């Protein structure tokens, strides 16, 4: 499936898959392990970074950041949140895809990879104001289901993924509503689609093409 507005191949997102993830994004139920990020100044230089275990955050900070993370998968599917197939040529050695796979497997604990990612964002995204790049690492225990789709309990299969939100910031690094973001790898009921990514655009009529091209291997 393709669209008139993009040269990249897209696939439909099942809304129920996204709801399965967002239902757990509460302070009591969350399985997010880590949050990391960077703040970039109006000249697109990194002004500071952070990286911490999610459980170390205060109650209010957990709530605030969960709302930020939830914005991406909870967005209207197949409109503000679209699934793209990452071209095979963009999944090779030293690609952004490889970097994100490494960040995922390290649970966001490899700061060297994250620093490269922030620099790549800064090189492409230049809105003229201060903004933040927020990354979340989560592990979702996929429930086992019977043939009639009734839940049997927790399975041994785990969906490990990243959420990224790029947001304007103001004052004391206070994040506004995400302008762009993604969920990687994409999720279907059977597990991870490592060759796909779900990309969020706050305004689907004026998409942030620079970052989408970056994520999909465009020049």
Give the model confidence (pLDDT) of 96-148 as tens digits: 999 999 999 999 999 999 999 999 999 999 999 999 999 999 999 888 764 44
Q: What is the pLDDT of residue 190?
A: 72
Q: Which two tokens stand for residue 67?
A: 């709302």
Helix (H) or strand (E) holding 71: helix 59-74
Q: Which two tokens stand for residue 16?
A: 């129920």
The secondary structure of residue 74, as a DSSP letter, is H
Residues with Cβ < 8 Å from 211, sequence gap 6 or more? 121, 124, 125, 166, 180
Q: What is the pLDDT of residue 115?
A: 98
Nearest CA among 96, 32, 26, 108 for reference residue 67: 26
- Identify the burial level of 24 via C-beta atoms within 10 angstroms of its C-beta, where 0-12 means exposed, 13-18 middle and 19 or more buried: middle
Q: What is the pLDDT of residue 146?
A: 45
Q: What is the pLDDT of residue 44?
A: 83
For the cut 50, the answer to whether the pLDDT of residue 43 exceeds it is yes
For the cut 60, the answer to whether the pLDDT of residue 150 exceeds it is no
Computed over every residue of the chain, the mean pLDDT equals: 91
Q: What is the pLDDT of residue 177?
A: 96
Please write the tens of the pLDDT for every residue from 155-210: 668 999 999 999 999 988 999 999 999 999 999 977 899 999 999 999 989 999 99
For the cut 60, the answer to whether the pLDDT of residue 149 exceeds it is no
Distances (CA, A) of 137 to 34, 37, 51, 98, 185: 5, 11, 11, 16, 11
| Domain interval for residue 38 | 10-215
Nearest CA among 207, 132, 121 for reference residue 174: 132
Please write the tens of the pLDDT for every residue from 9-26: 999 999 999 999 999 999
Structural domains in the chain (count): 1
pLDDT > 90 in the chain, percent: 82
Q: What is the pLDDT of residue 1?
A: 38
Q: What is the pTM of this model?
A: 0.92
- The pLDDT-based confidence of 83 (bands split at 50, 70, 90) is very high
Question: Does some domain include residue 3?
Answer: no
Question: Does some domain include residue 14?
Answer: yes
Residue 128, number of CB atoms within 10 A of its CB: 8
CATH number at residue 180: 3.30.500
Distance CA 209, CA 82 (A): 13
Question: Does some domain include residue 2?
Answer: no
Question: Does some domain include residue 108?
Answer: yes
Please write the tens of the pLDDT for every residue from 45-70: 999 999 999 999 999 999 999 999 99
For the cut 80, the answer to whether the pLDDT of residue 2 exceeds it is no
């Amino acid at each position: 499936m393709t669209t008139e507005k993009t040269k990249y191949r897209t696939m439909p997102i099942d809304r129920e898959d996204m709801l399965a993830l967002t239902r757990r994004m509460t302070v009591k139920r969350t399985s997010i392990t880590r949050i990391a990020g960077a703040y970039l100044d109006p000249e697109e230089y990194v002004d500071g970074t952070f990286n911490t275990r999610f459980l170390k955050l205060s109650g209010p900070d957990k709530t605030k950041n969960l709302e930020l993370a939830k914005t991406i998968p909870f967005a209207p599917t197949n409109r503000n949140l679209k699934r793209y197939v990452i071209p095979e040529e963009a999944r090779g050695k030293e690609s952004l895809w490889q970097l994100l796979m490494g960040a995922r497997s390290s649970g966001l604990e490899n700061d060297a990879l994250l620093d490269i990612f922030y620099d790549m964002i800064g090189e492409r995204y230049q809105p003229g104001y201060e903004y933040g790049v927020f990354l979340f690492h989560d592990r979702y225990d996929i429930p086992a289901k019977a043939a009639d789709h009734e839940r049997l309990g927790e399975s041994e299969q785990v969906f490990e993924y990243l959420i990224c939100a790029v947001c304007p910031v103001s004052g004391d690094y206070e994040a506004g509503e995400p302008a762009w973001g993604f969920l990687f790898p994409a999720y279907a009921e059977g597990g991870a689609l490592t060759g796909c990514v779900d990309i969020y655009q706050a305004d689907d009529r004026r998409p942030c093409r620079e970052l989408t091209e970056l994520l999909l291997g465009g020049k």
